[in-house]
Structure 1
Amino acid sequence: MAADTLIDERALSKLRWRCRRGLLENDLFIERFFKRHESSLTEAQAEGLRLLMDLSDNDLMDLFLCRKEPEGELDRSDVNEVLALLRTAP
């Protein structure tokens, strides 16, 4: 499947479930992201988001608030693209 292919409804539903967080502030960022981008979410962006969801809530919040930048294995184009979308103010 091509990276720029849109994800289907089932994959979107699973991704939304995967993105549920324990920290309300993270949920607010993620919910805003889905409201704005769910109809145009690509496979590559979905993979970037999945990788971000492997982080702890505090590490994720640091990335959302630009306290840190992705490093090591997380410093990838798909992760950086999704992070830029997540950081964009409404």
Structure 2
Amino acid sequence: MSDEPREHRLKRLHMRSMRRGIKEMDLILSTYAGRHLAGMTDAELDVYDTLLNENDQDLYRWVTGQEAAPTHLADLVGAVSRTFQPEK
């Protein structure tokens, strides 16, 4: 973990969520970030930061259920994919 202030980290992660390689991931990740980043622990932010380093095409296949996500990202990918599911 770096000495980056939490406020700066949240802004950086949110910006990286909005500026992806493909528009679909811009929409998916920026919506997820807007709803959840502020409430995440530092450890959860570390995992999210790792997720943002993944290739957009892979992320899209994982989030849409076309392929299984790697084990270390599976819980977070599941949470991201539930962002657009209607609440019951």
TM-score, normalized by the shorter chain, greater than 0.5: yes
After TM superposition, the score normalised by the length of structure 1 is 0.73
Change (3 A) 1:65 1:49: same
Structure 1 residue 85 and structure 2 residue 83: aligned? no
8 Å Cα contact 1:62/1:68 also seen in 2: yes
Unpaired runs of 5+ in structure 2? none
8 Å Cα contact 1:30/1:86 also seen in 2: yes
After TM superposition, the score normalised by the length of structure 2 is 0.74
Moved over 6 A (4+): none
* CA drift at 1:39: 2.3
Deviation track 1:40-64 (CA, whole Å, cap 9, x = no partner) reads 0222221222222222211110011
Distance across 2 between alignment mates of 1:45 and 1:63 = 18
Equivalent residue for 1:40? 39
**Aligned residue pairs: how many?**
80
Mapping 1:1-90, distance limit 5 Å:
8-19=6-17, 20-71=19-70, 75-76=71-72, 79-88=73-82, 89=85
Question: Over aligned residue pairs, what C-alpha RMSD do you find?
Answer: 2.0
Greater helix proportion: 2
